[in-house]
Amino acid sequence: MNKWLFSFLFSFSLIGFSTTAQTNADTTVYTLVEEMPHVEGGDADFFKQLGENITYPPIAKNDPIISRFVCQFIVETDSSISNVAIILPKENFSFKEELTQNIEGTLQNMTWIPGQQDGKPVRVQFIFPIRICSQ
């Protein structure tokens, strides 16, 4: 099975810098905090793991190659990952669900250090672009 080749435009590029306030402080999702969450091995390990573990879905063989995606996820206060989604392109494509599950599984297998604001762990949303080519 072919491996996905990743060319990330930005290292954890954040789109927007405001916070999303909820009614309960425990559910507030931030996009920028004093100490951002990170993978235990740093950005290089993050990119290495994505590149090694995301595989080209067999169902995608019949689709035209879509090479640009924007993915988002939340790093929770307990270091877990939630709300993984491909937000661009907005159109459905045959392997969107499979690709999302593959990215989610890869992110969940990484060891995350949660973000902190005022010395307390907080939920932080990441949004990052991915450029993918199949080979």
Of residues 130, 35, 132, the one with CA closest to residue 85: 130
Domain that holds residue 73: 4-134
Q: What would the pLDDT profile of 71-126 be if each residue is shown by its tens digit?
A: 999 999 999 999 999 999 888 887 888 889 999 999 999 999 999 999 999 999 99
Continuous segment of H or E residues that includes residue 44: helix 42-53
Grouping H, G, I as helix, E, B as strand and the rest as coil, residue 90 is coil
Helix (H, G, I), strand (E, B) or coil at 106: helix
| Amino acid sitting at position 69 | F
Q: How many domains does the chain have?
A: 1
Taking only the tens place, the pLDDT of each residue in 6-60 is 433 333 333 333 344 444 557 999 999 999 999 999 999 998 998 888 766 776 6
DSSP code at position 64: P
